[in-house]
Amino acid sequence: MKRPPQRRAIVTGLLFSAVLGALIVVGSRRLARFDAALVAYTFATLFATFAVTYRYSMWLQRPPTRMYWRLGWQTLARPRSIVSNVAELARRLTREVAANRFIFRRSRLRGLAHLAIMWGCILAAAITFPLVWGWIHFETVPGTFERYRAFLFGVPAGEFQLGSVLAFVVFHGLVWSAFLVLFGVVVAFRRRMLDHGAAAMQQFGEDILPLLMLGAISITGLLLTISYTWLKGYAYEFLAILHAVTVIVTLLWLPFGKLFHVFQRPAQIGVALYKEAEQHAEQARCLRCRNPFAPQKTVRELAAVEGQLGFRYALADDRGHYQQICPRCRRSLYAMAQGALWNGRA
């Protein structure tokens, strides 16, 4: 018996959350290095993991998404071209995802804002989550207060001198990430205020709210640094609670808002890889003009997906399927049908 998609998504979400919970216990040496003051962050990340996995699983179970997901993996794993495919995948991940080339093609300023926000968030996550989960902690080296030792999963991972450039960079990692995010947020807001096209199309929940939430996290985090560095801890407790609230609310909202596309975007690389590989495969010929217009395999898969969705576009008298008509002929047939209706012949 086939499970309903919701049940499969719930099981997948619970499995990923359980795995993360187990990794937290193991990585913190059975919670010996776990900071109980950060338990709210931990539960927020566990919930976000469940919700992101649930939504991702539901997304993958949609017939069109499932088709491209399967075909993308099949293309990548072809024995004759697996090496070149892996190299192409790495190139696309570097250029399109890591360097945001697809955004820079639209606008340099827009690409710069997106790049700063993305890498600021990645840096902040790479620092915050391991610290919250107890995977990373620091201790003074026995016999001296001038050196710190970093531990990764309870294993010594290196030492550095207190007051050194390395210590300054490491202990202020979240400050650098906040500066990156704030720069990107300011540039993005500037575009949305001055670009009339963007202003006309923007929606508060999809375009403004994510920027406000990321900006709030960065600003409250910087205020914490200012408090303990220059203000002798003034209002530190209030700022710590305010910062925690902004982070936790963002984590809880993450699976349901625009930021979910962060998890979807890498999967689209597989779609591009499949489409490029199929350009050299057997091409389908239009039933009307007999010209090639798309890969034969893609046409067959699209017809099958339409059937799964309940659309019946098979032509009369078993002459084929509407997907076997090229776009140019579809426009012609549409115009001819309109003309026939106009003249009362249909």
How do residues 253-263 score in pLDDT, each as one tens digit?
988 888 898 88
Dist. CA 171–CA 166, nearest whole Å? 8
Query: Which tens digits make up the pLDDT trace of 45-97?
Result: 999 999 999 999 999 988 888 888 888 888 888 888 888 888 888 898 899 88
Instruction: Give the type of residue at 153.
Output: F
Residue 14 is predicted with a pLDDT of 96
Quote the pLDDT of residue 130: 94
In a domain, 145, yes or no: no
Statement: residue 280 has pLDDT above 80: no
Q: Which of 136, 212, 210 is nearest to 174 (CA)?
A: 136
- Dihedral Cα 34, 37, 39, 42, nearest 10 deg: -70
Mean pLDDT of 22-43: 91
Task: Confirm if 128 and 174 have CB atoms less than 8 A apart.
Answer: yes
Across 5-19, 130-144, 332-346, the highest mean pLDDT is recorded for: 5-19
Residue 43 domain-assigned? no
pLDDT at residue 74, rounded to an integer: 84
Confidence category of residue 2, pLDDT binned at 50, 70, 90: low
pLDDT band at 237 (very low <50, low <70, confident <90, very high): very high
Distance CA 113, CA 122 (A): 14
| Enclosing domain of residue 290 | 281-342
Q: Is the pLDDT of residue 142 over 70?
A: yes
Residue at 143 is within a domain = no
- Residue type (1 letter), 273: L
**pLDDT score recorded for residue 271:** 81
The reported pLDDT for the residue numbered 117 is 95
Q: Which residues of 212-238 are buried (b: 16+ CB within 10 A; e: fewer)?
A: ebbbbbbbbbbbbeebeeeeeeeeeee
**pLDDT of 114 above 90:** yes
Overall average pLDDT of the 6-19 stretch: 95
18's tokens:
């359980």
Residues 6+ apart with CB under 8 A from 35: 132, 134
Number of structural domains in the chain: 1
Helix (H) or strand (E) holding 207: none
**What span, in angstroms and rounded, lies between the C-alpha atoms of 188 and 103?**
13
Euclidean distance between CA atoms 242 and 250, whole angstroms: 12
Provide mean pLDDT across the span 278-297. 85
Q: Is 9 exposed, middle or buried (0-12, 13-18, 19+ CB in 10 A)?
A: buried
104-122: average pLDDT: 92
Edge-to-edge order in the sheet of strand 155-161: 136-140, 147-152, 155-161
324 domain-assigned? yes
Handedness of CA 152, 154, 155, 161 (dihedral sign): positive
Residue 303 to residue 299: CA distance in whole angstroms: 6
Mean pLDDT of 101-114: 90
The more confidently predicted of residues 277 and 189 is: 189
Determine the pLDDT at residue 223.
Answer: 96
Residue 322, in any domain of the structure:
yes
Task: Give the rounded percent of residues in the chain with a pLDDT score beyond 70.
Answer: 98
The one-character DSSP state at 324 is G
Beta strands in the chain (DSSP E): 136-140, 147-152, 155-161, 283-285, 292-295
User: How far is it, in rounded angstroms, from Cα 257 to Cα 88?
Assistant: 31
Rg of the chain over all Cα atoms, to the nearest angstrom: 26
Place of tokens 């187990």: 22
Give me the mean pLDDT over the 128-154 stretch: 90
Backbone φ and ψ of 282, nearest 5°: -60, 130
Q: Which residues contact 176 (CB under 8 A, 6 or more apart)?
A: 123, 169
How confident is the prediction for the chain on average, in pLDDT? Answer: 89
Is 319 contained in some domain?
A: yes
Q: Collapse the DSSP code of 321 into the 3-class scheme (helix H, G, I; strand E, B; otherwise coil) and give the result.
A: strand
The token duo for 324 is 């076997």
Alpha-carbon distance of 184 to 105, in angstroms, equals 17
- For 177-233, the pLDDT digits (tens) are 999 999 999 999 998 888 877 778 888 888 899 999 999 999 999 999 999 999 999
Averaged over 281-294, what is the pLDDT?
Answer: 87
Domain contains 71: no
Mean pLDDT in residue range 321-341: 87
- Domain-located, residue 306: yes
- Measured between alpha carbons, how far is 234 from 228 in angstroms, rounded to an integer? 7
At residue 53, the pLDDT reads 95
Confidence of residue 13 (pLDDT cuts 50, 70, 90): very high
Question: What span, in angstroms and rounded, lies between the C-alpha atoms of 137 and 38?
Answer: 13
DSSP 120: H
What is the predicted pLDDT for the residue at 64?
Answer: 85
Supply 66's token pair.
């499932």
pLDDT of the residue at 346:
52
Is 70 exceeded by the pLDDT of residue 30? yes
